[in-house]
Structure 1
Amino acid sequence: MKKAKGTIRMSDVARVLGVSPMTVSNSFRNPHLVTDATRQKVIETATKLGYVPNTIAGNLVSGQSKVIAVMTPSIRHSSFADMIDALEQSLAKEGYSLIMSLVETREREVEALRALIGRRVDGVVIAGELQDATARELVVKSGTPVVETWHLHENMTDMSAGFSEHDAAADAVRFMIEAGRRRIGMIGYHPSTNRRLIERINGFRTAMNEAGGNSANVVLMDASINGYEAGAKGILQLIDVLPEIDGVFCMTDILAVGAMFESTRLGWPVPGRLAIMGYGDYDIAAQIPPGLTTIHTPGVEIGVESASLLLDRLAQKPGIAHQRRVAYRLVSRGSV
């Protein structure tokens, strides 16, 4: 007689395959203890039978949920998406699942973090860094492992994986200066307390000051102006204050593409009349003519290193580093 839905057990899967229940359990909870071929057979058979492992009992015994959370302000940009995809793939190899919380404002940070810790996730990855002091205190008191990402600095809450946003922005502007541009402006967003954006502005100013240029030509758009429109409006504002402008560094590729669209409408050839530099190396950067010169941010590498930090901590490996530095790179195309 066929069993009612929901009554398929681990022993049923084991009996069909002719393996032990422990092999079935390890295929879901400890995949490194079984071969890939065995695990694939177990998963296929479990799917056919309708078996879903009950993780609650195992969690109570092991003290681990085998779930990692990622908090991100956005999934619209390819850099964050690449990081999350690499994070999930790296964790899945060790039997961990990933859940995501979209946290677009600082006010939501504590609420989201409290909910995740309350669900006893084994760790949290932040796309960016914790901005609220209460959130940082919550992490410390709960003992939940946390990895903050992208911009590195000395006062991270726990662990971190990323690079210097300041140095990346400064290198972008230096590249434009080396290409002969001297009257360079910047388009960005009001950073508020976002340290990543603040460091990009500081990097622009560092490079301009080094070259004896004017580091004050910075136009910051309101966050309510989204997408290409912000870049288009930004370039018009820069032209108003610096009519002889010959280069512009944009805080994101989206802003840069908006500036390129507006330059075309103005009849300003890129890079003949105006060189444009982006930041992020989004998919559109390689497709828009004549190709957007930009900073490639290492989202994939950040995801891999974040997973490695958490897995090392959860395995209680001795002497692990709390910070992993990954490399950005400048991608030269046709816009500079």
Structure 2
Amino acid sequence: MPTKKIENSDGRLRHTARSVTLESVARLAGVAPTTVSRALNHPEKVAAKTLSRIQDAIASTGYVPNLLAGGLASSRSRLIAAIVPSIANLVYAETIQSFTRRVRESGYQVFLGETGYDPDAEEELVVTVLSRRPDAIFLTGIHHSATCRQRLLAAGIPIVETWDITPTPLDIAVGFSHSRVGHSVAAYLHDRGHRTFGVASADDPRARLRNRAFTAELAERGIDKVETSYLSPVSSLELGRRALADLLAATLTPIAVFCSSDTVAQGVLVEAQARGLASPEDVAIVGFGDQNFAAFTYPALTTVKIDRVTIGERSAEALLARLDDEPVEENVVDVGFEIIARQTA
């Protein structure tokens, strides 16, 4: 990499790296900068020998084109920002993987940001991302601060909100109804004869929505008391163990527990086993997410399956259609869910 000499305050010289520019590639290849630009954007319009010299110059210098500067004329950065609550949560990871695969096929790259379930962090991240001029944004959830919504709408770019649905998305929504999940799980457990219920949950807005619907469905069925344990916003096996300890301190077994994630459900199962309690006889458990370990716990975990891959793919297809000025058949896509009945409930 080229360097330049700078004199320190003590008179000694130091070397600092100097970025390789399009002009330096052009000098090395013996062509005009406009020819290098043409080779990068329209290589079919450059003579084969000239193109070969330019490619050799790029390879020897390590030059990386400034796509933002190059895309200003066409208003395209070829960058899509994806914002998720947690990169540690596998349910989001699979969605992002399928989303990234699909948009890369069309020449886009993904910039990934994490909010930590904090709406203020999301707002700050959105402002930072928009300053980089992405072509589109992938968001997790439909609940954003007023300022965040204002910035997103003012950006005038395609936006997909995922992992939830609403009749009034910012642009496109791809997900499922958390309320229907809560109602369905409550009905499933009640129909199987359970009458004492608890919730072991991470403290995030989508989990709270499921839990409110779970409690409301049980109230419709004459169950007025549901013990609830909210702990950290981030799911963990420890959270599940602590949550069951809280629930058992407040009520008796047998109890049916609805968990905000399979990770929390696994913690509930471990705590029940540590106390000598059987599942589902003493502690019935329903998780959420159908993560890859859910079928292999002992006993196998009953859970709610979400098609995470489809969320990613449908989100990508909708954004790509918007970017290509093609019609989007549905701006609200409900991928649904399925209760997977296994041994814990």
- Aligned counterpart in structure 2 of residue 108 of structure 1, from 108, 116, 121: 121
In 2, distance between residues paired with 1:307 and 1:228? 32
Match of 2:144 in 1: 131
- Aligned counterpart in structure 2 of residue 144 of structure 1, from 144, 151, 157: 157
Question: Residue deviations 1:128-153, cap 9 Å, x none?
Answer: 23421100011112212211111112
Structure 1 pair 51/180, CA: closer, same or farther in 2 (3 Å)? Answer: same
In 2, distance between residues paired with 1:232 and 1:293? 17
Measured after TM superposition, the shift of residue 232 of structure 1 is 1.5
Match of 1:289 in 2: 298
- Matched letter for residue 221 of structure 1: Y
- Aligned counterpart in structure 2 of residue 266 of structure 1, from 275, 279, 282: 275
In 2, distance between residues paired with 1:177 and 1:188? 19
In 1, distance between residues paired with 2:142 and 2:57? 39
Structure 1 pair 249/126, CA: closer, same or farther in 2 (3 Å)? Answer: same
* 1:40-51 mapped onto 2 (5 Å cutoff): none
8 A Cα contact 1:123 1:144, kept in partner: yes
In 2, distance between residues paired with 1:52 and 1:139? 29
- Aligned counterpart in structure 1 of residue 325 of structure 2, from 316, 319, 322: 316
8 A Cα contact 2:158 2:322, kept in partner: yes
Match of 1:83 in 2: 95
% identity of equivalent residues: 27
Aligned partner of residue 201 in structure 1, secondary structure: helix
8 A Cα contact 1:256 1:278, kept in partner: yes
Measured after TM superposition, the shift of residue 218 of structure 1 is 3.2
8 A Cα contact 1:109 1:130, kept in partner: no
In 2, distance between residues paired with 1:189 and 1:157? 26
- Matched letter for residue 124 of structure 2: E
Higher mean C-alpha displacement, 54-63 vs 243-252: 54-63
Structure 1 pair 319/222, CA: closer, same or farther in 2 (3 Å)? Answer: closer
8 A Cα contact 1:227 1:255, kept in partner: yes
* 1:181-200 mapped onto 2 (5 Å cutoff): 181-191=194-204, 194=205, 196-200=206-210
- Matched letter for residue 213 of structure 1: I
Aligned partner of residue 142 in structure 2, secondary structure: coil
Match of 2:212 in 1: 202
8 A Cα contact 1:172 1:294, kept in partner: no
Structure 2 length as normaliser, TM-score? 0.79
Match of 1:68 in 2: 80
Structure 1 length as normaliser, TM-score? 0.81
Measured after TM superposition, the shift of residue 90 of structure 1 is 0.8
Measured after TM superposition, the shift of residue 228 of structure 1 is 1.7
In 2, distance between residues paired with 1:220 and 1:46? 62
* 1:146-295 mapped onto 2 (5 Å cutoff): 146-191=159-204, 194=205, 196-214=206-224, 216-223=225-232, 227-295=236-304
Higher mean C-alpha displacement, 93-102 vs 121-130: 121-130
Match of 1:41 in 2: none
Structure 1 pair 204/224, CA: closer, same or farther in 2 (3 Å)? Answer: closer
8 A Cα contact 1:159 1:322, kept in partner: yes
- Matched letter for residue 201 of structure 2: G
User: Matched residue pairs, number?
Assistant: 304
Higher mean C-alpha displacement, 251-260 vs 168-177: 168-177
Structure 1 pair 225/322, CA: closer, same or farther in 2 (3 Å)? Answer: closer
Alpha-carbon RMSD: 2.8
Measured after TM superposition, the shift of residue 298 of structure 1 is 2.0
Residue ranges of structure 2 left out of the alignment (5+ in a row): 1-18, 30-36, 44-54
8 A Cα contact 1:185 1:245, kept in partner: no
Residue ranges of structure 1 left out of the alignment (5+ in a row): 13-20, 28-43
8 A Cα contact 1:239 1:245, kept in partner: no
8 A Cα contact 1:278 1:295, kept in partner: yes
Q: Which runs of 4+ in 1 moved over 3 A?
A: 5-9, 21-27, 44-54
Match of 2:47 in 1: none
The structure whose Rg is larger is 2
